Structures are given as C-alpha cells and as structure tokens.
A and B are shown apart, each in its own frame.
Chain A
Amino acid sequence: MMNVLVCIKRVPATGSRITLTPDEQEIDARYLNFTFSPHEECAVEEAVRLIEAHGGTSVVLTLGPDAATDILVDAMTLGMERAVLLETESGDWDPGATAAAIVEAVRAQQAAGTAFDLILMGNEAADTGDYQVGIRVAHVLGLPCVTGVKELKIDNGNAVARREVKGGWEVFEAPLPAVVTVKEGINLPRYPSLRGRLTAKKKPIERMKPQRAHGGLEKVRFKVPPEQTSVAEVLGKGAEAAPLAVDLLQRLGVL
C-alpha cells in the first residue's frame, strides 16, 4: 500500500504561434484550450500504475484559478482518485511561493490522515520552466528528491530511479517517502476511457486558499522572441522534386 501525490500545472495548449495579452503578463488564451504538460501526464500515469500495482491512494493537486478544476477532472479521468485545488486569485506564482503552498497542502493532508509515500511532479513546468519546485518542496519537508527520472521502480520502500544521460543511464536510489520529478518517456500514458470520464465527475475536489509567500522571483513581462520565419524554398511537388532534393544533399556534403 502506498499513497501518491501528483502535482500538475494548468497551461494553455499553445499551437504554433504565441500571442500575449496587451499588458504582456499572460499568454492570450482566448482562443486556446488548457491542458497540463507531457511530463505531468506521465507523472499521473506513473501514479495510477503504482496504485494499481501496490494499492493505496492517489491524489492530484494543482495551484491555480478555479478554472484549473478542469485539469484535475482530466487527471481523475485517467485514474487519480481525488483532487486538491490550491486556489489562487490571479497571476502565476513564482517557484518559491508555489513550493510553499504545496508544502502547506501536503502537511494538511497528513494531518487529515493521508501521509504521502511519494510525491510526483513533472521535471519542469511546460510554461515557466523553473526546474525547482520539486526540490524546494522536498527540502522543506526533509525528503530526498530525484529529478529528471525516466524509469522508476519501487522496491522494498526504496525508489530506484534512472535518469538518461549521454551514452546511458544514471541510477539514483532514495528511501521513501520521497519526491520524484519525471520526464515524458517514463511511460506511455493511457487514453481516457468512457468509464473514467463518468466516474471522474463524482470524485471529490478539496479546495484550499493558500497565502502567497514571497518567492523573490518577480515576473516583469513576457516577450515574444523576434520571429525567425524563413520562406521555404519549394523544390517541387511530389516525386518529381527528388532530383533537386538529392542535389541539395550533395551540396551539403551529406550524401
């Protein structure tokens, strides 16, 4: 039996072009859907598999506006059992403030009877890419943390985690309870099932309103990088373009 917490973040599903709101504080999401990142989808899948294998409880948590309940429901559709929303009024919280709020929630869950053996997160948020919330949470809770994990085995109260490096793998071991941040590729997430959709709506979402701590990293504004669109030189249509394409390969010296 084990209790697993997964932390996810609501981000806009950006297509191929990003536009900003006039105050440059947010991505203009009027025409976008929201989702959570590939790393976090894998964290959810990993948690669901662990509970299927070992038994126990899985909880999904996010910090964000009321609208973030949508991604909590999505995660519960995939098999997470219940959810916690750390509700914020506006804007992104920096990594220090986010970590402090998660720590508070973990302690509240423990006080209410759910002590987590494993806290899973994505290696980095898809949007802000801060690379630190997991480590900050682990530090305050006094837990070990392994990041960037692409293979995880729970063995005798130990997390055995592999991280991909040039030419192979680095293996880390950490006794549970632990924080592990994962990368896409650790598993292949399942598709939501109809039954999952139906049951997710009945699963509970607990709400907390955390105090915003001072994290010390202050967003001034977003900037869209100057666009480097080139106009592609069209070599031709269909199979008839092959000779020109092979000429190109020859010119580049790769043939």
Chain B
Amino acid sequence: MIIGLVEHEQGKLNERTAEMLTLGRKLAAQMGAPLAAVVMGGAAPEIAERLAAFGVSTVYAVKHERLGSYAPEAWARCVEQIMAAAKPAAVMAAGSERGNEAMAYLGALTGLPMAANCTEVQPGESFLVTRQCWGGTLWEEARIHGSVKLLTVAPLAVAAEEAPAPAALSVSEFAPTLTDKDLRVRVVDRIETASGRVTLAEARVVVSGGRGAGSAEGFGPLEELAGLLGAAVGCSRAVTSAGWRPHADQIGQTGTRISPEIYIACGVSGATQHIVGCKGSKHILAINTDPEAPIMNAADYAIVGDMHVVVPALCAEIRKRRGVSD
C-alpha cells in the first residue's frame, strides 16, 4: 500500500495534493499496490469522490475532537498509527509547507529518513528518487532507505491527472490516540490580512524592480505602470536587502513564487535566487540596460534600456491608446 496525506480546503482537494496523488498512483501501479489516503478531520463526501477519481481505493478518515486546528505533530502521530496497522511501503505528502512539515515530524517520530520535494520515484528495496535542490535549479538523485519510504512531491513538478477510471472506494474512520504533547504546537489563532490589492502570488500581471531601480523612490514609475495594468508590484532580493521595499514584495527562492500571464522585470539582473521565483510566469519581459544580464536568458521579450526611461514611456503609450492625455 502507498499512503498519501491529503490537504484540502473547504471541501476542495488541494491542487498540490492532486499532483502528489498522481505520482502516488503511478508508483502504486508499478508496485502492484493499492493507493490509500489519510484525510484529517473526517472526509467530506465531495473529497472522497475526488480521491476516488485520482485512484484512491481506501480512505482513512481521521476523527478526533482535538484536531480542529492544524497541529503538525498530531498529524504525524495519526499517520504513524495508521502505518502501524496498514503497513504501507511508502507514505507521501505534497511538498507544501504543511506537507513537508508533517512528513518531517513523521520521519522524526519513526526514525525513518524523509526525502523532500521529489519529482520522480523508482520503487525497489530502496527507492531511487530525483528531488529538487537549490529551489529547483539543481536536481539530486538520492536513495531512500528504511522500512517505509517517506517522501514529499515537489509542487508543480507533476501534472495532476485523474485515473482512467475512478477507483472503488472504501472509507473507514480512524480514531487516533493523541496526547497533550502531540498537540502542544498547533494553530492558536488566525489573522486575516485585509487587502483590496491583488497579491503577488495570484496576480495576472507582475511588475518588478531590481537594483536598477536605484532607490525606494525609483519604484514610483513601476507603481504607476502597475496601476495602469492592475498589476502587483514585486522586487528582487537586492531591493529588500537595501530596505527599499518590504520583504512581502520579494520574488524569489526565499520570497514569493509568482505565476502571472506576464512578468515585467525592470532593472533585475536575474540571479538564480530570483529566477526560481519567477520561472512560473507564462511570459517574461525584461527591461535592462545590460543585454547580457542573466535575466535575458529567462526572458521571452526584452527591451534594452534604462528602466527610468522605458517605464514612463510604456505608461505614456498605454495612456495614449486609452485616449487619456498625460
């Protein structure tokens, strides 16, 4: 048996979980093993149906009065107890924040190794995996040893694909035994950030500035262009390190990963740290004085020139076409 740890929000299967289950189903088929899923807080019927569509034949619906809020160690403890009964060959989760965290706890609780952010898996006595390092700019081939193989699946590395035919599904409730210690680290509060603005992660258009912006004030024209396009404004790590913009605006390996229709990168050199964060963009337009800058290798379109000249010209052109005078 292969077990997948499921994440869902308000009755909707998480996209990253769907990717993980797709890889899990292929692995299970290779091993001639069934695919099972662990769902925290009980499985809503609509989740169960989606899981069957992805080839899951057994659902462990975990029910416990104290699992109302996310508690990573408790999640791992539940999976550990299911493992003891079901004896799976492997346990998988999405390489999401929660997935990596819960699987790391499971590794710690069981003393088993855990491989994070895998993109390919070959079963065997040990599993041979390919996993993402350096934010995905380097791959590592590694062997996972141990009696049960623990791994997470890198986000967006596997296309989510339903099974040719849905699996016949059996749902069984599982009541874990949890101690205070398992629940001592849990979400005690949730704070919503009220914001009318489009977020970087979800924007259809992102305009960003790098070191070439020169100063905090240098973002003025970028804000203006973003305003005209309904875009979010981002920046490179050089900019947040200089204190010109808040870290929340940073696009990159240690910032936000974006996936807009078009990303307009102005005065951004294109260090690996940055490219990792913007490579999910459908199109990239780079505006840079240096035609040899690394960003040019990632870009589909380029304007060679000073962003302080080009960006105002773009704003003027957009206004002109909309029939608004400057």
Contacts and interface: CB of A to CB of B under 8 A. Distances in A.
Nearest to A128: B133
B124 interface: no
Interface in A128-176: 128-132, 135-136, 138-140, 144-148, 162-163, 165-175
Interface string B234-253: 00010011010001101001
13 contacts: A16-B270, A18-B138, A38-B254, A127-B134, A132-B114, A135-B101, A166-B201, A188-B243, A220-B142, A223-B138, A225-B138, A235-B301, A237-B305
Contacts of A225: 136-139
B128 interface: yes
B254 A37 contact: yes
A53 interface: no
A139 B184 CA distance: 13
B48 interface: no
Contacts of B138: 18, 27, 127, 222-225
B304 A252 contact: no
Interface residues of A, number: 81
Contacts of A215: 113
Interface stretch (A56-64, A66-74, A82-90, A242-250): A242-250
Interface residues of B, number: 92
A33 interface: no
A246 B318 contact: yes
B29 interface: no
A171 B190 contact: yes
B190 A169 contact: yes
A241 interface: yes
Contact of A170 (B103, B190, B201, B273): B190
B133 A127 contact: yes
**Which secondary structure dominates chain B's binding surface?**
mixed
A245 B305 contact: no
Contact of A128 (B70, B140, B143): B140
Contacts of A147: 72, 97, 101, 104
B302 A233 contact: yes
Contacts of A10: none
B300 A232 contact: yes
A166 B199 CA distance: 10
A254 interface: yes
A39 interface: yes
Contacts of B140: 128, 219-223
A95 B145 CA distance: 13
A255 B30 CA distance: 48
Given A135-B101, A173-B188, A185-B247, A255 B229 contact: yes
B41 interface: no
Contacts of A196: none
A206 interface: no
A239 B321 CA distance: 16
A131 B262 contact: no
Interface string B121-158: 00000101010111111111111111000001000000
Nearest to B116: A131
Contacts of A95: 113-114
Interface string A89-100: 000001110000
Given A132-B108, A139-B108, A216-B113, A230 B300 contact: yes
B305 A241 contact: yes
